[in-house]
Amino acid sequence: MSSARANRQPYLLLLPFFALLAAFWLVPLLGGLRMSLYSNDLTGPGEYVGLANYRALLDDARFFKALRNTLAYTALSLVTILPLALLLAQALRMTFTRLRPPLTFLLLLPGLTPPAVLALLFLLVFHGREGLLNQLLVEPFGFKTINWLRDPDFILPALVLQGVWRWTGFITFFFLAGMAAIPKTLFEAAQLETNSRWRVFWSVTLPQLRPVLLFSAVYLVVDGFATFSGAYVLLGGSGGTADAGLLLVSYSYQQTFTFGQFGTAAAMSVSVAPLMLGMLVLCFAARWRRTH
């Protein structure tokens, strides 16, 4: 095989991936960008309106409410799921060695469940005074029952709890895989210096898991901005009381299929893309600074 052909072979093998990426990501993105520059007619040719749909967003208070809710939901998911998953992964690795396979499978089940089905199950958890959360964790400790899906102070925390339940086990699995890839010689060398499991975890496990932590953070950021089915089912297609649970994808869906504002919804989706990209760049920049 000639050297020129050998050099081309990796790119030929990657060709199907880039073809699918263009078909299912680039083409819809360009179509959405074009739609955002036209009037709200979906079936007809539409009228070119330039940046009018984007300017309309600046006067849309519900758009900024959905943006704040989405950012809060993403941030709360990150600060809750990552430490909890890290703790569970360490516990499974150090304590429950023989039970690790069945426990890992049980932790993965919520992440493998379709989000709409999971949301239906969570209706039983959050449903008024008779909900499982009130019956098992609120009333037994003498607290006043919470209407999780109607009280604007608790709607967003309820969505976060649903996300924590869904993704904690999945992220735990990522951390377990990362821990399994750490060379045992590093643990042996650390154990010669100290018998403290905490110090071994802090000086060996955590630094070696930074790439996995970055991947998990990016995964949760993307999921936070794309969350739809769970919030839609729990809140009946609305944003809840005072739009306390209105997320960006939910609002975009409302604009499109309830109000017929296709151009506005497309502008909303496109305008959020740079923000999400900026958050991802910050994640990678933090990783780059640590390695240089």
Q: pLDDT tens for residues 203-221?
A: 888 888 988 998 899 899 9
Residue 245 DSSP class = T
Extract the tokens encoding 218: 């990016």
Tell me how far apart the alpha carbons of residues 82 and 89 are, in angstroms, rounded to a whole number. Answer: 10
- Ordered by start, the domain boundaries in the chain are 61-291
CATH T-level fold of 61-291? MetI-like fold (1.10.3720)
Q: What is the pLDDT of residue 105?
A: 86
Distance of CA 31 to the CA centre of its chain: 24
Give pTM, 2 decimals. Answer: 0.87
Report in angstroms the alpha-carbon separations of 109 from 169, 200, 225: 8, 30, 22
Average pLDDT value for the chain? 85
Q: pLDDT tens for residues 96-115?
A: 777 888 888 888 888 888 88
Q: What is the pLDDT of residue 291?
A: 59
Banded model confidence at residue 159, pLDDT cuts 50, 70, 90: very high
Whether pLDDT at 63 is above 90: yes
Alpha carbon dihedral 264, 267, 269, 275, in 10-degree steps, equals: -140
Burial (0-12, 13-18, 19+ Cβ within 10 Å), 73: buried
Rg (CA), the chain: 23
| Between 93 and 292, residue with greater pLDDT | 93
Can you list the alpha helix ranges (DSSP code H) found in 181-261? 184-193, 197-200, 206-208, 210-226, 229-234, 248-253
Residue 46 DSSP class = -
Q: What is the pLDDT of residue 87?
A: 92
